[in-house]
Amino acid sequence: QKEVEQNSGPLSVPEGAIASLNCTYSDRVSQSFFWYRQYSGKSPELIMSIYSNGDKEDGRFTAQLNKASQYVSLLIRDSQPSDSATYLCAVLPLQKLVFGTGTRLLVSP
């Protein structure tokens, strides 16, 4: 079992829709969770961090964490074509980030 699992996609949504990205992790020690966005050929860019169960909102982005289910998600409201990228879920068990393989999101105009 992979430490962090994501559906590779692509996840296709129309412009203005809500995109829902999901991630599960195996290490119960993990206390910190992150979502990074990566455009093709570029480096990962931090979007959200979440540490406690529940929801955390930042603009059009909402991160959701459920430690009992070992599940973290990212919702993108009013999706824009510029949101088309790969979204990487990462957990931080012991100083090092452990990444999933990423979900490719395509937002069509």
Partner 1 sequence: DAGVTQSPTHLIKTRGQQVTLRCSPKSGHDTVSWYQQALGQGPQFIFQYYEEEERQRGNFPDRFSGHQFPNYSSELNVNALLLGDSALYLCASSLARTGEETQYFGPGTRLLVL
Distance of closest approach, residue 78 Cβ to partner 1, in angstroms: 26
101 is an interface residue for partner 1 by CB under 8 A: yes
32 is an interface residue for partner 1 by CB under 8 A: yes
Distance of closest approach, residue 100 Cβ to partner 1, in angstroms: 5
* Token digits of residue 108: 């069509």
28 is an interface residue for partner 1 by CB under 8 A: no
Residue 48 contacts residue 61 (beta carbons within 8 Å): yes
34 is an interface residue for partner 1 by CB under 8 A: yes
Q: How many CA atoms lie within 13 A of 52 on its CB side?
A: 4
Which DSSP state fits 52?
Answer: S
List residues binding partner 1 (CB under 8 A). 4, 32, 34, 36, 42-46, 49, 88, 90, 92, 94-102
